Each structure stands twice: as C-alpha cells, then as structure tokens.
Amino acid sequence: MCGMQNDLKRLREEVLGTDVCTACGTCVNLCPNIISIEDRIAVLADCQIASGNCYRYCPRTIPDPRIAEALCGDVGYGGPVGNYSNYLIARSRLSGKHSFFQYGGTVTALLVEAMRQGLIDYAVVTKAVGNFPHPAIVKNEEEIISAGGSKYALSPTNKEVNRACTAGSGKIGVVALPCQATGLRKKQLQPREDGVEKASVSLIIGLFCTWALSQAGWRALLNRHVGSRFVKAMDIPPPPANIMVIDVGGERKTIPLDEVGKHVRPGCKVCLDMTAENADISIGMVEGKAGWNTVITRTEQGASMLESAVGAGIIETGSLDQKAWDHLREASLNKKEQALKEAEARAKRLPYYERIIKLGKKIRDEDKNGTER
Amino acid sequence: MELSADRILLMGNEAIARGALEGGAAYATGYPGNPSSEIVETMFGYQREHGIRVEWSANEIIALEAAAAFAFSGLRAIVTMKQNGMNVASDFLTTVSLNELKGGLVLVVCDDPGPMTSTNEQDSRHFAKIAQVPLLEPFTASEAKEMMRWLLVFSEQMGIPCILRSVSRLSHGRGAVKLGPVPSQEIKPSFDIEKPLVGLPFLVTPNHAHLLKKMKEVQTTFDKSPFNEYTGPNDANFIIMATGLGALYAREAVNMLHLEQQIGILKIGTIWPPPSHLIRAYLKQAKDVLFVEEIDPFLEDQVKVLYAEHASKLGAVSFYGKNTGDIYGPSGPGVGEMNTDIVLDALGRIFNKEISACASPYEDARKQASILLVPREVAFCDGCPHRASFLAIKAALELDGRKGFVVGDIGCYGLGAGPTGFNQIKALHCMGSGMGNACGFSQMASFGFNQPVVAVIGDSTFFHAGLPALINAAFNKADGLFIVLDNAVTAMTGFQVNPASPFTATGKATRPVLAEDIARSVGAKITVLDPIEDIQESIHAVYAALQEEGLRFLVFRRPCATFEKKTRAAEEILKARIDPESCIGEICGCNRFCSRVLACPSIQYDKDKDRAFINEDTCNGCGLCVQLCPRQAISLVNIQKEGRSA
Ligand SMILES: Cc1cc2nc3c(=O)[nH]c(=O)nc-3n(C[C@H](O)[C@H](O)[C@H](O)COP(=O)(O)OP(=O)(O)OC[C@H]3O[C@@H](n4cnc5c(N)ncnc54)[C@H](O)[C@@H]3O)c2cc1C
Ligand code: SF4
Ligand code: SF4
C-alpha cells in the first residue's frame, strides 16, 4: 500500500472501514475503483490521487471550510431542523393513475411536476426489486409513480446519480434520505473539475429519516417474518406504537421495534439529521393525520417547486399546527441527542465523531437556551 | 560433436523421448508439468509412424498405473512427470515394485532445482530408495537418450520398474544425439492370469525380500556400468564425485582452474543402488572427495555410509559436500540450482585459489545479452480470463467485508497470489490443496471461525486432484465455495488437453467432462458463467454465492486467451482501442485504472501525451477494460474487417 496519505486512504480509514458509512453511494461510480452491491461499498485498489471527489462528497467527511457555511445536518450547524423557509402539510392530488404512496404522495407529485415543468430531465428514485430497494434512473411519470412507497432498507441512491451525471446531459431530480441529500449537496457545491459530468442535480427532495436498516438485516427480518412472500408496503407508525408494520398482500405483519432496531445500519446511529437539512425540500409524515405529509421548504428551488405544483393543482397544502411542529423539532433534537451519545460511547477518534460531537453540543445548548430559528 | 543425418541436435526431453522410441516403448503417458512436458509431446510425433500409444492422463498416479498395465502384459511403457507428480505417483510405485513385471516400465521424473515453475525444490531420487527401484541420472542429452533406451530393456530383464531422473537444465538444454535403430513392435500383449500381481499383506514380506535380492544384482550390473566414468589422473587423490549435470560443472571448473593434473572426476550415472564396489575403489585412492550434485546430498550420504562400512580397509578421507557446508550457492548448501560457479567457489576455497582470475568466457556474452532483457512483471497474459475472475473474486470479498480469502493451488491461476491476481490467493501448495484446505476451514465454525473461504482450482487440476476434495466436501457437509477457473486447456504447461477438452491429445473426439456435471451429482449449487463477458455479473455471482450456505460450485468458463489466439478463426480479430479524445488522462478520477489497477500488459499509459493506449499487437480483445473505463473511452474493433491498421 502506498505510504503517502491520499483521499481514498482517508475515506477507507475514516468512513468505509468504520461504522459511520451510510451506503449513500456518493463515492460510488465516480471511478471504477469504488463499487457496491446492495448496501455494501468496497474499494478495489489503492489510489494515488491526493484529493479525491469520493472523499470531498462523502457526507461523513469534514467539508471544505469554503462550503461548510452552506451546509447543515451532519456537517454544519442549522438548529434542530436545519435552515428552512416554511413548514406546512401537503398531499398529492395526482389522479387517474392507480398508484401507491407512502403517506400523502407529495414526493411523487413534486417529482412529476418538476418533470412536467422541465426543471428536471430525469429522476433518481428507489424502486423495489423483489422485496429489496434498488436505486434507479427514471425518465417518465409512470416510472416515478411506480417507485412510490418507502423501503426501509438502505440502498446507495447516489451511485445512480453519479451514473446519470456522466451518462447523459440535463438536469436530475433526486429523492434522497438525509445522508444522501448531504452527499448530493456537497457534490453540487463542488462540481467535478474534469468536465466529465454533463448532467447535474437540480432538485433534491429529502425524506425524513430516523434510521434505516442494513440490507442483510432486512433480509434477516424477512426470513423470520415474511418468507418469500411479496411485501406490498411497510410503515413505522409513530410512537408509542413501537412496531414495524409489513403488509404482505393483505396480511398485516407486525415486528417489535426492539427487534427491528438490531438491524439498523451502524452508520445511522451516529446520524444527526432527521429532516434532510441539506435538501431543497424535506418531506415526512404528519403524526395523527394519515394521508398527509409534513413539508419543510428550505431553498428557493424547493419553495418554488412546491408553489408550482400547488398552482398546477397536483398538490394541495394546509398548515402544520404548532404542536406538531414543536413535536417534530423535539423528535429531531432527540435524534441528534442519541447520535451524540452514540458517538461519545464509540469513543473512536474519527473526524466525523469529533465534528458531530461539536455540532451536537452546540445544538443541544442552543435548544436549552430556547433559541428559535 | 559433428552433426549429421543420424547425429542431430535435441532438447534433453526430446532425447529422452527418442530413447523411449529406441527402447521399444509401446505406451507413453504422464501428466504435464514443467520441466517434463516435452517428453510426451515429442512422443505424440512418433505415435502414428511407430504405432505407439500416447496420451495425457488425469494425474500422475493414474498415468503410472496405466503404464504398469502395459508392463504387466509384456509391453514397454514410460511415464513422465515433474517432481511434485512423483509424490502423487509414489503410492503405486512403492507397491508395484514388489511385483514382477513382464515388460519394461520407466518413470521419468524431471526435478526443478532453484524452481522456475514449482512449489517445492524436491530431490526425487529419494523415491528410488523408498521404492527400492533402480534410478539413473544422465548428464547430457545424448546420455539421456541412451539411458532411457537401456533402462526400458533393463527394467524388463529385472522385472522392476526403473526411474530416470532429469533436471530442468538437462531437460531443456540441447545437445547432439546420435540416433539409433527403432525396434519394431512384435509382442502381442497378454496378462497371465496364473500369475496374479496382488500386494496382499502375507505376500509383502517374501516379495520384499525378493526385490532386495534383485537389487543386489542391479548393483552388480551398476558396478560395471558405462554410465559411470572416471576421468583424470590415475593416482589423483582429490576426487570429485558428481552426478548428472554436476559432472559437467565439475569438468568445466577443473579446467578453468587448471587442476586437471590434480583432480579426478568420478561421474556416477547409476544413482540407486549406488555402485558400491566402484565407489569403494575410488575411496581407497582418494584423500579428499568433493560431491557435486543437484539439490540434496543424496550421493554424498550413500558414499559416506559406504565409507563407514569399509573404513577399516580405507585410508583417511576428507569429505567436502553439502552436509559439511563446503559447496553452496547464494542461498546456502542444498538449495538452489548447481552451476559451475558454485563448483569453482568450492574448489577455490579448498585449494586456496583466487578464482576471479578465471572468469568464464561466457560471462561477457551473458552480460551483453542481459541488456536485451526488459524487466517484466509476472502477469496474466493479455486477455487472460483469470484476470477477470480474480477481479470478481476480489470485488466480491471486499464487498462481503468478512475478511474472506482465497486458497488455491497450481496452474496459471496460481499467479492469483501476486499483483496480477490482485494478491488474492493466500494459501497455495500442491495440486488440489486449495479445495482440501477449504474442506477444513469450513469445519471450524463451531470454534468460532467465520471468515468466508473461496477455493479456486483450474479445470485440469480439478480433474487431477480436486475431485476427491469435492466428494469429501459433499460427504462431510462442508460449507464451501469452490470456483473452477475453466480455461479449457492445461495452459501453464503448454496447452495440453485435459478431460474438459472435446478432443484427446491425439485429436480424437471425446466427450468433454464438465466439472459442474460432477458437482451437480453430489448436490452442489451450480453457477456457470464467462468471467469477462459481464464483469459486474461475475462480481454479483461471486458475491451472491458468498451469501449462501452449503456446498457452492461456481465455474468461470472462458478459453485461455493465448490458446484461443493460436487457434481462433481469422474472420474476427478483436482489439481494444482507446479513443484519445475520450480518455482524459490524469485529470480523470480513475487514477489510470486500466493501466495501473487492471494492469493488462497490453494497456499502457503514455506520460507525454497523458493518455492511456493499447498495444494492438498484443491485445487479445477480451473486452474487460472496455467495461471498466469510466469515460467509455475504450471500444472493441474488428481489425480483420477494417484491414490491418498501423
Ligand atoms: C428509510 C426511511 C426512513 C424514514 N423514516 C421516516 C421517519 O422517521 N419519519 C418520517 O416522518 N418519515 C420517514 N420516512 C419518510 C416517509 O416514509 C415517506 O417517504 C415520506 O413521508 C414521503 O411520503 P410520500 O407519500 O410523499 O412518498 P411517495 O410519494 O410514496 O414516494 C416515496 C419516495 O421514497 C423513495 N424511497 C423509498 N424508499 C427509499 C429508500 N430506501 N431510500 C431512498 N428513497 C426511498 C422512493 O423513490 C419514492 O420516490 C422514511 C423513509 C425512508 C425510506
Ligand atoms: S457515506 Fe456514502 S460517500 Fe461516504 S463512504 Fe459511505 S457510501 Fe461512500
Ligand atoms: S439515519 Fe441518517 S445515515 Fe441512516 S439512512 Fe437515515 S439519513 Fe442516512
């Protein structure tokens, strides 16, 4: 192995070889040297490039100070739910197509609208292949709609984004988990200098996320509870339910969260970001209001996308009541608190841990002081 | 030596084959292995004209057993192998020597001192002592032929199998050989059912006694053998006792040091049983004896035993050998190849002579020639399927992340232990050892062993030594992943056919044996695919197999690229080509993946132009690099269609 320090070596030592990698896929498909199957990421050979995009884009590495300002979530400071412009509730009014959405279908509707408006030429979504998530580049509404519904295991979405960026030209919209959104934002803020990417990401729709399962873990749960039957839908109802619900063609299976929790990817347990703080617009559930989504608009792009969809009549909105908002902030802070504890407990001297401990403490203190942002 | 119509230049192995022909061999077989392979290959050339049966066997013991059947029936046969094969054949050898043969049977074993292509440095002469069979060792191609011819007849006379031992440099060096007549085959073979050849325990002791008695007769013959020769002053009291090529090195060294008047050289060709009367005679004459032989101090030990037995009638003798640490190469006594320099050094020390003064006349020529040698990495050939197979295995093991590893064995794919195979093989010993090791690794789960183990084996090696391991794994419920790297030929030893080939060595159509058919019959889960066609699929296949349990059998099947090149039809000659517009050189984040990581010898990086390029003369058009270039800068072109381009 080459003795000199280089970014791939750093990525291996600080992220891949440790329990912080989230399998977001941002480092995959930038070159042939980092590969993935399911949610496993591996490096084929050493690399002598001192400063590499894999390391720069990874959500688990410390951002360049020049872009750090623009980032929240795991890598920057933005208060309990990050920087935002508005919060509300929404649901899709897409009609005609018989389809399945996780909650309100806002994600799907936004993507469809973005494509209709020509804001994006294609999208990267997560489809189910069998009972497993697979990231995919899609080019039309039907495909976007068919990707509806949450899959609670991780798959490296951003590797398909990287592929899309070099394979064609145009603009890409991505449905991203918070970690994936952070990777994408870092990439967007530091475009590749070699000019090989002809397409770029122009819309990041973030999903709320408390944790995700490793695919091996998901396979173990399936084997134990579902067998080879097809999973139609799955959900994690808000506390105090403490269960995961799996809909197996009409039959409802429940798995206690304690059991599910054993299969959470270790990288998720040190994640500060519940609300996709680096996305253009973030979307989750609304507690106690089935069929609706909580929406947080963050950037110009996100807000105007939502506006346009409302204008087009494919999304309807309402206001999120203060109690629910407070509760969301609380839940988000709670995730940060947990991550902080976990990072401290792991007591490894990784730059990522040092960074989130610093960030987490800041957020914790500010929250105690009751600062509202 | 003048060359003429009946005196021609032959490679040592060709000379041995010629000796077999002149000795009346009706059958020649063996298992290919450097440095022995050319003997059987030469015999193929004789078969039609002389009605000899020649074939490659699945392994060395089968070869010896098959050849023995000829000898049981009154015909003469030879079997060839490298030293590792001797171990495989030895089980049969040590039992068949107890029976009386009707026809001559000679086992040719070629040792590989200072191994160029072997996993050990074994002196096979010990097997003659173990099996109590005669062994000869030639020192020139001419003598190799003569010994072979003589041994076939002698083996038949004595009814004992015999061994001819060669070494790499003799097998592959060339020398003038005088051709002799070829006898015609007139014997009709038959097996005498009144004389069963059974090794039942109660017969062993009398048979063993009988064998030892015959070996005494052999010794008497050897005492008078022309294969032993003394040269030098009749009263020399410094004698070099040398075997095989050692005799040539000794002569050369003595000449260079101008010690011809002081040193006598006893060249011994009949190694086992040692010609004890002859040796004793020279021990009586000598005050000092230096031994020159390849690998082990085999003659040295025997001579010392003889000396001890007869010490009272012999004078004081000082011995200089490997045991005494007086003759050694750079790695020490008894290791590495013998050569003239080593003998010179030893003599220089003993005679207190400055030896640098007598530099070899060849030294200058050697130095000049060495300039022409370009340093090259030991690498899989251009387009070799193994490169893709090991890339897939490495990728899958890295993705799997449980610190899995590969165990392997002997074949081109053994290079999987080095950089060209991404350093994947972590244990490599003898034919079939990887699969055997894997059986054991898989039985350690109850002790907490949890690393996945992948055993790789070539097609030929699978048939040679992998089958018992497969069956063992199935029977003992081993939880293993076996990967057969099937390139359709025994490539490393020179593209010999093997049971996976659709033709026998003589070109007769035969039913190829598919490894997966056998594995299926023992209940293994089978996957078969071309490793290069879709490298991502190959990676997925290995990864998926790693996630499963039970006996898994994956065949990576694609013909050896170098063999294909020799045989493929001419209408399509594919070459990879890099578009210098699409390749962006160092600024591409791939860090020269094609030339540096994939490291196919045909792909190079031009520093000045900052572009990768492909040497179309050597490229075999496998298309692996095409799939991996992140810029899609590489494509395959059919140069046959476009006409040969510059
Ligand atoms: C692993 C995971 C954990 C989540 N945790 C929470 C949570 O704790 N609280 C909360 O409020 N909401 C959570 N969500 C978000 C929630 O489940 C819905 O995805 C979100 O509310 C959008 O609903 P929708 O009806 O608009 O989605 P839809 O219109 O049905 O669209 C769903 C979209 O999600 C994408 N998707 C599905 N699975 C994945 C995946 N594994 N990775 C990336 N993208 C995927 C699909 O591409 C699709 O475009 C989580 C989602 C996931 C995938
Ligand atoms: S977190 Fe994402 S970018 Fe970082 S190493 Fe893991 S997969 Fe690659
Ligand atoms: S918990 Fe964090 S790291 Fe895990 S999937 Fe969700 S956003 Fe990614």
Residue A145 Cα to ligand 1 midpoint, Å, equals 13
What pairing do the DSSP bridges indicate for beta strands A243-248 and A233-235? Answer: antiparallel
Pocket test for ligand 3, best of A26, A154, A336 (most atoms within 8 A of CB): A154
pLDDT at B645 over 50: no
Specify the ligand 2 atom closest to the Cα of A58.
3
B589 interfacial to chain A (CB closer than 8 Å)? yes
Residue A156 Cα to ligand 3 midpoint, Å, equals 11
Q: Find the closest chain B residue to A23 by CA distance.
A: B399
Domains of chain B: which residue ranges? 2-223, 229-351, 385-565, 571-645
Taking the C-alpha atoms of residue A312 and residue A117, their distance in angstroms, rounded to an integer, is 10
B65 interfacial to chain A (CB closer than 8 Å)? no
Closest CA of chain B from A108, distance in Å: 31
> Which CATH number applies to B229-351?
3.40.50.920
Looking at all shown ligands, the one closest to residue A99's CA atom is: 1
Q: What angle do CA A185, A191, A192 make, to 5 degrees?
A: 130
Specify the ligand 2 atom closest to the Cα of A28.
8
Domains of chain A: which residue ranges? 86-209+270-332, 215-261
**In percent, how much of chain B has pLDDT > 90?**
84
Closest partner residue to A194 (CB to CB) among B399, B584, B628 is B584
Structure token pair of residue B480: 């293993």
- Separation in Å, CA B32 to CA A177, B347, B379, B552, B556: 59, 38, 21, 29, 22
Query: For the residues of B526-540, what is the DSSP string, one character each?
Result: EEEE-TTTTHHHHHH
B590 interfacial to chain A (CB closer than 8 Å)? yes
Q: What does the mean pLDDT of chain B come to?
A: 93
Q: pLDDT-based confidence at B179, cuts 50/70/90?
A: very high
pLDDT at B567 over 80: no
**Same topology between domain B2-223 and domain B229-351:** yes
ipTM of the complex: 0.89
Burial class (CB in 10 A: 0-12, 13-18, 19+), A109: buried
pLDDT tens figures, B585-613: 988 889 999 999 999 999 999 999 999 99
pLDDT, residue A365, reads: 78
CB of A181 shorter than 6 A to ligand 2? no
Q: What is the mean pLDDT of residues B538-543?
A: 98
Pocket test for ligand 1, best of A102, A210, A315 (most atoms within 8 A of CB): A102
Q: Which residues of A touch B584 (CB under 8 A)?
A: 194-196
Q: Find the closest chain A residue to B542 by CA distance.
A: A37
Residue A270: which region, alpha, beta or left (left: phi > 0; alpha: psi -120 to 50)?
Answer: alpha
Taking the C-alpha atoms of residue B597 and residue B156, their distance in angstroms, rounded to an integer, is 57
CATH of B571-645 among 3.40.50.150, 3.30.70.1450, 3.30.70.20, 3.40.50.300: 3.30.70.20
> Which CATH number applies to B2-223?
3.40.50.970
CB contact under 8 A, B589 and A43: no
Taking the C-alpha atoms of residue A235 and residue A314, their distance in angstroms, rounded to an integer, is 24
Residue B541 Cα to ligand 3 midpoint, Å, equals 29
Residue B368 Cα to ligand 3 midpoint, Å, equals 65
Specify the ligand 1 atom closest to the Cα of A284.
21
pLDDT, residue A1, reads: 42
Specify the ligand 1 atom closest to the Cα of A127.
47
Q: What is the mean pLDDT of residues B22-28?
A: 97
Specify the ligand 3 atom closest to the Cα of A271.
2
Taking the C-alpha atoms of residue B8 and residue B6, their distance in angstroms, rounded to an integer, is 6
Q: Ligand 2, atom 4: nearest CA belongs to which residue? A: A58
pLDDT at B3 over 90: no
Q: Which residues of B touch A196 (CB under 8 A)?
A: 584, 588, 630-631
CB contact under 8 A, A35 and B628: no
Where is average pLDDT lowest: B217-221, B295-299, B489-493, B593-597?
Answer: B489-493
Residues with CB under 6 A from ligand 1: A 101-108, 125-126, 133, 147-152, 155, 157, 175, 177, 207-210, 212, 283-285, 293
pLDDT tens figures, B390-423: 999 999 999 999 999 999 999 999 999 999 999 9
Closest partner residue to A42 (CB to CB) among B398, B590, B630 is B398
CB of A183 shorter than 6 A to ligand 2? yes
Q: What is the mean pLDDT of residues B110-118?
A: 93
CB contact under 8 A, A40 and B401: yes
Q: Ligand 2, atom 7: nearest CA belongs to which residue? A: A23
Closest partner residue to B399 (CB to CB) among A32, A35, A53 is A35
Q: Average pLDDT per run of 10 along chain A, which is 373 residues long?
A: 76 92 96 95 93 94 90 86 96 78 94 95 96 96 93 96 92 98 96 89 97 95 92 89 90 94 96 96 93 96 96 95 94 92 87 88 72 48
Residue A87 Cα to ligand 3 midpoint, Å, equals 21
pLDDT tens figures, B259-309: 999 999 999 999 999 999 999 999 999 999 999 999 999 999 999 999 999
pLDDT at B495 over 50: yes
Tally of CB atoms within 10 A around A100: 14
> What is the phi/psi pair of residue B542, to 5°?
-70, -45
Class of domain B385-565 (CATH, top level): alpha beta
Taking the C-alpha atoms of residue A119 and residue A104, their distance in angstroms, rounded to an integer, is 22
Structure token pair of residue B224: 């008078």
- Classify B479 as helix, strand or coil: coil
pTM of the model: 0.89
Taking the C-alpha atoms of residue B36 and residue B20, their distance in angstroms, rounded to an integer, is 14
Q: Find the closest chain A residue to B592 by CA distance.
A: A47
Specify the ligand 3 atom closest to the Cα of A22.
3
CB contact under 8 A, A40 and B400: yes
Taking the C-alpha atoms of residue A212 and residue A205, their distance in angstroms, rounded to an integer, is 17
